[in-house]
Amino acid sequence: MKVAVMGAGAVGWYYGAELARAGHQLILISRPLHVKAVRERGLLLESGGTTDVVKLYATDDPSGAEDADIVLFCVKSGDTSAAWNSMAPYLKSDAVVLSLQNGVDNAERLRVVWAGR
């Protein structure tokens, strides 16, 4: 099963790191500066009193979501439509998209852009 994390920031990197540590095929889609840092040094994950460096595959290209079975959608509220529109052409028709966003209207924002797919 392929998992993509769209908008990897604090929430996305954390869940991505945990999924990668559990052995899932994973790609994180984030801003170029974050991608560069993770490619060069890995992700420093401090959790449960331990510190690990997790090697992750990351890209700044929304096509990284291609063939993902599950997408963790973690973008900022104001970026919902733009991020969705950049990623949507690459999604499988049966992909499961899980919104892990802050904000009271993100589910509705995502529903609207999903319906226009």
At residue 117, does pLDDT exceed 70? no
| Residue bearing the bigger pLDDT, 82 or 117 | 82
Mean pLDDT of 18-41: 93
pTM: 0.89
| Helix locations, 1-117, DSSP H | 10-21, 32-41, 80-87, 106-115
pLDDT digits (tens, 9 = 90+) for 42-91: 999 888 899 999 999 999 999 999 999 999 999 988 888 899 999 999 99
- The distance from CA 59 to its chain's CA centroid, rounded to whole angstroms, is 10
Single-letter residue type at 3: V
| Residue bearing the bigger pLDDT, 108 or 56 | 56
- Contact yes or no for 111/85 (Cβ under 8 A): no
Locate the domains of the chain by residue range: 2-115
Mean pLDDT of 25-46: 93
Of 3.30.70.1380, 1.20.950.20, 3.50.50.60, 3.40.50.720, which CATH number belongs to 2-115? 3.40.50.720
